[in-house]
Amino acid sequence: MATQTEVSHEKLPVVPEEVTAEWLGSVLGHKVKSIEATRQIFGTASKLFYTIEYADEVADSNSRPKHICVKGVFDPEMVKNQPWTVSLAQREADFFSKIAPLIKNMGYPKGWWGGTSKEQGIAIMSDLVREGCTFAPEVASYPVEKVLDGAAQIAGLHAQFWGKSQEDYPWIWNNYDPAMTFMVGMWDKVAPEVGRIRMPEYLMDGPRIIKALEIYYSKRNPKFRTLLHGDTHIGNIYFDAQGHTRFLDWSAFHFASCFHDLVYFMTALLTIEDRRKHEMEVLDHYLKTLHECGGPKLDRNDPELMVEYRRSFMTNIIWPICPKGLQSEERVAVLCARTIATWEDHKVIELLESQA
């Protein structure tokens, strides 16, 4: 892993024009002759792609990148209106500088540098397109083999950090639960909006859903705590050149129940019918790989495990009230339907209420 650990910079680029050959050379540790901007993708986090020409030759060309993605917040107007986006960029920069070099059993975009300042967080990684990687469309369903592959990746991460918490890594605070709690607080206003999927009547009861979420967060079983990716939906996966399932966008990693990552991922990639048919196969594969990678030996015949598994489908709660513009309407509609099906199948709301 080539990531350099450098954080707390006084000044980092905040607009694309400030990403210069000189600056890139200073953080990559090699003198850069010139850079060519090849494409840009703007959003909550922006991605700026460059091809680099270095001033000198090196014997090992793999020791420095030629095609890179510079990810951060590069839209000052958006930062002004949505200042929370800076914390997401800072979190991903921290992943590449502090956590990625430690990971043993999970694939992710190759990182070259990560740094933060008060106004910015920047992660420099390899350009995945140049490496032959592909990405999921807005809406897709995949065969169970792709999901088993991803479940094994998740298990590899979880096994390494099993039982750890913020006490072990004080700087990894949970930025996920507060964001979900805030959005779900507007349930009664957002869920009935025109254009959103119509849910069963009991799911239109905002105070009931808000209370269920509170129970979900407050009653997690610490027996299953580990470090999560945190946001394993279809928009945050890619397939490497060999077709293996991998995860990107590491702005929401935190410590919580392991099944958060698994059920969120599985719900996003499988049709309702395939999820019903294969979810125990996926769960068993996850548990088997977890143990093979050094985690505990767990079995779904354990009622305690299955309670934690079932209640974790509450993680999908973002889809019924996903803010417009954050994801496409097509993706939200499909994943909302899949979410409701998981809640119905596993009696998620009723289970959580029984734990009050």
pLDDT at 323: 85
Residue 323 CA to residue 169 CA, distance in Å, equals: 31
pLDDT in tens, 41-88: 988 889 999 999 999 988 777 889 999 999 999 998 888 888 888 999
Helices marked H in the chain: 21-28, 76-81, 84-94, 144-160, 176-184, 187-190, 206-218, 259-269, 272-292, 303-311, 329-346, 348-354
Reply yes or no on whether the pLDDT at 295 is more than 90. Answer: yes
Reply yes or no on whether the pLDDT at 6 is more than 50. Answer: no
Q: What are residue 72's phi and psi, to 5 degrees?
A: -175, -165
Contacts of 210 (CB under 8 A, 6+ apart): 184, 185, 187
Question: Using CA atoms in the order 270, 276, 277, 281, what is the torsion angle rounded to 10 degrees?
Answer: 80
What distances in angstroms separate CA 27 from CA 4, 47, 121, 124, 143, one per listed residue?
8, 17, 13, 9, 41
Helices marked H in 227-271: 259-269
Residue 257 CA to residue 223 CA, distance in Å, equals: 8
Q: Determine what percent of the chain is predicted with pLDDT higher than 90.
A: 86
Taking alpha carbons only, the member of 197, 6, 201, 209 closest to residue 98 is 6
DSSP-derived letter for residue 192 is T
Handedness of CA 274, 279, 284, 290 (dihedral sign): positive
pLDDT at 239: 96
> Residue 144, Cα to own-chain centre: how many angstroms?
20
The ranges assigned to domains in the chain are 4-131, 134-354
Reply yes or no on whether the pLDDT at 303 is more than 70. Answer: yes
pLDDT at 70: 98
| Radius of gyration, CA atoms only, the chain | 21
Reply yes or no on whether the pLDDT at 5 is more than 70. Answer: no
DSSP string, 24-41: HHHHHTS-EEEEEEEEEE
> Are the C-beta atoms of 166 and 255 separated by less than 8 Å?
yes
DSSP string, 289-356: HHHHTT-----TT-HHHHHHHHHGGGGGGGGGGPPBTTB-HHHHHHHHHHHHHHHHHHTHHHHHHHT-
Residue 83 CA to residue 328 CA, distance in Å, equals: 22
> Are the C-beta atoms of 125 and 48 separated by less than 8 Å?
no
Kind and range of the H or E element at 121?
Answer: strand 121-126
pLDDT at 113: 95
pLDDT in tens, 204-256: 999 999 999 999 999 999 999 999 999 999 999 999 999 999 999 999 999 99
Handedness of CA 348, 233, 112, 63 (dihedral sign): positive
pLDDT in tens, 117-175: 999 999 999 999 999 999 999 899 999 999 999 999 999 999 999 999 999 999 999 98
What's the CATH number for 4-131? 3.30.200.20
Question: Model-level pTM?
Answer: 0.93
Strand order, beta sheet including 134-135: 134-135, 237-239, 245-247
Whether 4-131 and 134-354 share one fold: the answer is: no
Residue 326 CA to residue 166 CA, distance in Å, equals: 29
The CATH class that applies to domain 134-354 reads alpha beta
pLDDT at 9: 61
